[in-house]
Amino acid sequence: MTIVELAFDLLAKKLAARTGISSEEASDLVATMGADWSSLVRAARVMKKYSGVA
């Protein structure tokens, strides 16, 4: 595992813990959107709201 992969994995875990989405959903968001934290949190909140998990 490269340092970039490790960093993205840690970011996804932090995103899942902070927003309540699954680790898989968080990993998908990080892979798609990159590492901009505010954008990731906003997308995760929208995802959670519209997935019926609120």
Residue 41 is encoded by which pair of tokens? 């949190």
At 9 the pLDDT is 96
Q: Euclidean distance between the first and final Cα of the chain, in Å? A: 34
Domain ranges of the chain: 3-50
- Residue 2 sits at φ, ψ, to 5 deg, of -80, 170
At 1 the pLDDT is 85
At 30 the pLDDT is 97
51 confidence band (pLDDT: 50, 70, 90): confident
At 20 the pLDDT is 95
In tens, the pLDDT along 7-38 reads 999 999 999 999 999 999 999 999 999 999 99
With beta carbons less than 8 A apart as the criterion, state whether 19 and 45 touch.
yes
With beta carbons less than 8 A apart as the criterion, state whether 50 and 24 touch.
no
pLDDT above 90 for 53: no
